[in-house]
Amino acid sequence: MTHSEAATPSLKDLTIDNITDNVNLVNSKTPSPRFKFLLERLVIHLHDYARETRLSQDEWLEAIQFLTATGQMCTNVRQEFILLSDVLGLSLLVDSIDHPKPPGSTDGTVLGPFHTHDAEVLGHGALVSHDQNGEPLLAICTVKDAHGNPIPDVKIDIWETDSSGMYDVQHVGREKPDGRGILTSDTEGKFWFKGIVPVPYPIPHDGPVGKLLAKLNRHPMRPSHMHFMFEKEGWDKLITALYLRGDPYETSDAVFGVKESLVVGLGRVDKAMASQYAGTQEGMKLLTYDFVLVTDKETAQLRDGNSVEALKKLNMVVRIVDGLPVPDVD
C-alpha cells in the first residue's frame, strides 16, 4: 500500500451527514459487483438505523455485547445466530425470496438450526425416531412435479425432536443421530417411514436470543412439526416442514414458520394399511402428504422476475447476474 493508494479518497472530518457516502466509496474498490452492492446497502441501512434511532453509545455497546454473546453461544451443535435470524423473521423472509413457489407447489419454510449432515440413509419403512416414549406415527408421502408426475430418486432429509421436544444434538453425550434420517423417493415418487407424533417445544432460550425474547415479552415455543428437505439435481431444493393442526402454538410460532398449506391433520392407520405396511398397527397415527417440487429453471425465472419487479418498485435500476441483482451502472 503506497501513500497515494492509501490517500484515495481523502477521508477526514467525516460527519453524521457525509460518512455513509465516504464509507461506501472506500468499500467500492472490491472487484465483485455483487459484494459491493451487498456492502453498500448494508452500510446505508446500518447508518440510517443509527441516524433514525439516534442510537446512543450505551445502546451501541449493549448491541456489541449482545452480538458477542450470540457468537460465543455457538458450538458445533448450536447456532445462536440462526436462532436470532429466525426470531426476527429474517430466515423465513430469505427463504421466501430465494425459493419462490409457483401456485400448486409445496411452500417452503424455515430450516432452523437443527439440521445436521450426519443423518443415516434409511430404507422405506425405517424408524426415523427410536424414542420409546413418543407416540408412534406412520408417514406415507409422495414427491411429484406440478403436473402430478412422480419424481424418483429425490434425497429426502427428515428431522424431528424426541417426545421431550429435544433434537438429538441437544442431548449431552449424543453418540449417533436419532430423530433424523435420509430417504430416497421410489419410482412412484413415494417414501414412507415411521417416526413419532411431533410435539411443541421451545427453541433454546437459555442464551442471548432467549433473553431477547423475554425482553420482548415473547414466548419461545414452536408448534409441533416435522422437518423435510428435498434435493435432486435439476430441482429447486425444498426446505419445508409439516405442522399439526390444532397445536396451541399454531398461530404464534416463535420463528414465524407456519403456513396454512403445511398444516395437516393426522389420520389413523386402518386394518388394510396395517397389513400392507410392515411394523404398523391399526389405529396408529398417520401422516400423509404429497409434496410438489419445482424445477431449478422455473424457480430461477420466477426469482429473477420477482427481483426485477420488486427493485423497479423501489426505483433501483439493476441487472441480474448469476441469478442475483447488481446495480446497473454504465
Q: C-alpha angle 269/273/278, rounded to 5°?
A: 100
- Which residue in 170, 184, 252, 288 binds its own copies (CB under 8 A)? 252
Q: Specify the amino acid at residue 69.
A: A
Considering the rule CB under 8 A, would residue 245 count as an interface residue with its own copies?
Answer: no
Whose cell is 401422516? That residue is 287
Q: C-alpha angle 228/193/120, rounded to 5°?
A: 70
Query: How many other β-carbons are positioned within 10 Å of the β-carbon of residue 294?
Result: 21
- Give yes or no for a cis peptide into 202 (omega within 30° of 0): no
CA gap 139, 194 in Å, rounded: 6
CA 62 → CA 43, 73, 298, distances in Å?
20, 16, 44
The stretch near its own copies (CB under 8 A) out of 42-50, 162-170, 267-275, 283-291 is: 42-50
- Residues 97 to 156: which contact its own copies by CB under 8 A? 97-99
Q: How many residues does the chain have?
A: 330
Considering the rule CB under 8 A, would residue 56 count as an interface residue with its own copies?
Answer: yes
- Which residue in 77, 90, 273, 300 binds its own copies (CB under 8 A)? 90
Considering the rule CB under 8 A, would residue 236 count as an interface residue with its own copies?
Answer: no
CB 153 within 8 A of CB 206: no
Q: How far is the CB of 71 from its own copies (least distance, A)?
A: 1
Query: Of the two residues 109 and 280, which places its CB atom closer to its own copies in the complex?
Result: 109
The stretch near its own copies (CB under 8 A) out of 67-75, 149-157, 224-232, 279-287 is: 67-75
Query: Of the two residues 115 and 124, which places its CB atom closer to its own copies in the complex?
Result: 115
Give buried/exposed letters for 203-213 (b at 16+ CB in 10 A, else e).
bbbebbbbebb
Considering the rule CB under 8 A, would residue 250 count as an interface residue with its own copies?
Answer: yes
- Which residue in 188, 324, 328, 330 binds its own copies (CB under 8 A)? 324
Q: Which of 229, 217, 200, 218 is nearest to 86 (CA)?
A: 218
115 alpha carbon, distance to own chain's centre: 10
Query: Of the two residues 29 and 176, which places its CB atom closer to its own copies in the complex?
Result: 29
Query: How many other β-carbons are positioned within 10 Å of the β-carbon of residue 137?
Result: 22
- Which residue in 117, 260, 278, 330 binds its own copies (CB under 8 A)? 260
- Which residue in 140, 258, 269, 287 binds its own copies (CB under 8 A)? 258
The stretch near its own copies (CB under 8 A) out of 119-127, 137-145, 290-298, 306-314 is: 306-314
CB 7 within 8 A of CB 300: no
- Which residue in 77, 88, 126, 300 binds its own copies (CB under 8 A)? 88
- Residues 202 to 231: which contact its own copies by CB under 8 A? 215-219, 221
Considering the rule CB under 8 A, would residue 7 count as an interface residue with its own copies?
Answer: yes
Considering the rule CB under 8 A, would residue 70 count as an interface residue with its own copies?
Answer: yes
Spatial strand order of the sheet with 136-144 comes to 190-196, 136-144, 285-292, 267-268
Q: Which of 180, 163, 154 is nearest to 77 (CA)?
A: 180
Q: How far is the CB of 82 from its own copies (least distance, A)?
A: 6
Considering the rule CB under 8 A, would residue 294 count as an interface residue with its own copies?
Answer: no
The stretch near its own copies (CB under 8 A) out of 148-156, 177-185, 270-278, 309-317 is: 309-317
- Which residue in 248, 279, 283, 305 binds its own copies (CB under 8 A)? 248
Q: Applying CB under 8 A, what is the total number of residues that bind its own copies?
A: 96
